[in-house]
């Protein structure tokens, strides 16, 4: 403990010993290294490989130090938070650009209040890897979803239509695990459904909060088009929807076990009847429910993003008469 500054508690050191097992000297002072910093540490040392984590910690530290010394002029932006090093970012502005979460949130809230008066903060989440926040737009329900609600009602899904509320999710990470991004969401059908493409600003290449502001404006202006794209799925009929769902899940590399379970549930519901791409898209959302207790928040967001890409696929290419092997 004598090597660490007084603000580093014995609990922080013990926790690090049980996990990553590394410490780093920053400006002459040792700090425990959090697991979130491991990838960026390898990036600074310009090494990688599945064998590295299996090395005894003294051997791993020796390899890292040897590689880091190959780049004596390189600098790093070190993020120290809650008693530990959380990330080793590139010292060049082209490698990493800091986008403070508080400033991103302030810009986003300002634009939300301007474009979606009456917006409601629904929930937020933060850990050592990422931070997310969700807003709903109940007062803009008719404006944004009128066409979709009407289409759902006409095809016998009036109950589902009555529950829908538009919204967005904001996500960012200051340890290099996620860009500063905003995505459109639909609420009211269980877990929120991400629709359309995410708009994002990476923490690199001299990115700024102003660029994030532009990205937010872009998402807001495209929200209606995104909903229209979702509506179009209701006009795409599939003769073999179960096979199509399996093929699309395979294409998107969704978690296999959960995807096959969701396909089986969908098969029970539709039997051998035709269904729309919209029906399949909604059925695929079950995958998120099936893995919600076994995957990290970061992984769930990744799966959610993959699911949203299904909206842009050419569904006829996956409407196979023969069962798809996986």
Adjacent-strand bridge partners of 126: 131
Quote the pLDDT of residue 70.
Answer: 92
Task: Say yes or no: 123 and 75 in one domain.
Answer: no
Q: State the alpha helices, DSSP H only, in 37-100.
A: 38-45, 57-68
Task: Say yes or no: 145 and 242 in one domain.
Answer: no
Q: Is residue 3 part of a domain?
A: no
CA-closest candidate to residue 70, choices 95, 45, 89, 91: 45
Q: Is residue 191 part of a domain?
A: yes
Quote the pLDDT of residue 1.
Answer: 57
Query: Could you tell me if 30 and 4 are in contact, meaning their C-beta atoms sit under 8 angstroms apart?
Result: yes
Q: What is the pLDDT along the chain (326 residues), one digit of tens a residue?
A: 568 888 899 999 999 999 999 999 998 899 999 999 999 999 999 999 999 999 999 999 999 999 999 998 888 889 999 999 999 988 666 677 778 889 999 999 999 999 999 999 999 999 898 899 999 999 999 999 999 999 999 988 999 999 999 999 999 988 877 888 999 999 988 788 999 888 888 777 777 888 888 888 888 888 989 999 999 999 999 999 999 999 999 999 999 999 999 999 999 999 989 999 999 999 999 999 999 889 888 889 899 999 999 999 999 999 999 988 99
Quote the pLDDT of residue 94.
Answer: 64
Q: Is residue 2 part of a domain?
A: no
Task: Say yes or no: 121 and 224 in one domain.
Answer: yes
Q: Is residue 325 part of a domain?
A: no
First vs last Cα of the chain: how many Å apart? 52
Task: Say yes or no: 217 and 300 in one domain.
Answer: no
Task: Say yes or no: 114 and 135 in one domain.
Answer: yes
Provide the residue range defining the domain that includes 109.
101-232
Total domain count for the chain? 3
Task: Say yes or no: 224 and 246 in one domain.
Answer: no
Q: The pTM is what?
A: 0.84
Q: Is residue 4 part of a domain?
A: no
Q: Is residue 95 part of a domain?
A: no
Select from 51, 71, 90 the last residue of a domain: 90
Task: Say yes or no: 129 and 148 in one domain.
Answer: yes
Task: Say yes or no: 110 and 175 in one domain.
Answer: yes
Beta strands (DSSP E) in the chain are: 23-26, 29-32, 76-81, 84-90, 120-126, 131-136, 165-172, 180-187, 193-201, 237-238, 275-276
Quote the pLDDT of residue 250.
Answer: 96
Quote the pLDDT of residue 133.
Answer: 95
Task: Say yes or no: 106 and 86 in one domain.
Answer: no
Q: How far is CA 241 from the centre of its chain?
A: 27
Task: Say yes or no: 292 and 246 in one domain.
Answer: yes
Task: Say yes or no: 240 and 292 in one domain.
Answer: yes
Task: Say yes or no: 64 and 146 in one domain.
Answer: no
Select from 68, 90, 112 the last residue of a domain: 90
Quote the pLDDT of residue 243.
Answer: 97
Select from 189, 204, 232 the last residue of a domain: 232
Q: Is residue 5 part of a domain?
A: no
Q: Is residue 296 part of a domain?
A: yes
């Amino acid at each position: 403990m004598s090597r660490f500054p007084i603000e580093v508690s014995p609990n922080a050191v013990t926790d690090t010993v049980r996990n990553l097992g590394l410490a780093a000297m920053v400006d002459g002072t040792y700090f425990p290294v959090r697991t979130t910093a491991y990838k960026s540490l390898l990036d600074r040392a310009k090494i990688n490989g599945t064998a590295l984590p299996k090395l005894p910690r003294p051997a791993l530290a020796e390899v890292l130090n040897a590689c880091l010394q190959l780049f004596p002029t390189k600098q790093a932006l070190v993020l120290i938070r809650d008693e530990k090093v959380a990330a080793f970012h590139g010292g060049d502005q082209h490698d990493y650009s800091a986008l403070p979460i508080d400033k991103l949130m302030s810009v986003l809230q300002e634009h939300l209040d301007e474009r979606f008066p009456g917006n409601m903060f629904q929930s937020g989440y933060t850990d050592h890897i990422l931070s997310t926040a969700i807003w709903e737009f109940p007062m803009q329900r008719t404006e944004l979803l009128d066409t979709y609600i009407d289409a759902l009602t006409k095809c016998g899904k009036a109950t589902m239509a009555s529950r829908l509320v538009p919204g967005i999710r904001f996500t960012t990470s200051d340890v290099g695990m996620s860009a500063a991004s905003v995505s459109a969401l639909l609420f009211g059908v269980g877990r929120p459904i991400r629709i359309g493409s995410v708009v994002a600003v990476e923490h690199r290449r001299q990115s700024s909060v102003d660029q994030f502001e532009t990205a937010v404006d872009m998402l807001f202006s495209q929200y209606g088009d995104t909903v229209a794209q979702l509506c179009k799925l209701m006009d795409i009929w599939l003769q073999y929807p179960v096979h199509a769902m399996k093929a699309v899940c395979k294409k998107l590399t969704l978690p296999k076990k959960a995807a096959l379970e969701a396909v089986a549930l969908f098969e029970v519901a539709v039997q051998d009847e035709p269904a729309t791409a919209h029906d399949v898209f909604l059925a695929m959302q079950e995958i998120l429910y099936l893995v919600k207790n076994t995957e990290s928040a970061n992984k769930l967001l990744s799966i959610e993003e993959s699911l949203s890409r299904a909206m842009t696929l050419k569904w006829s290419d996956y409407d196979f008469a023969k069962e798809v092997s996986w």
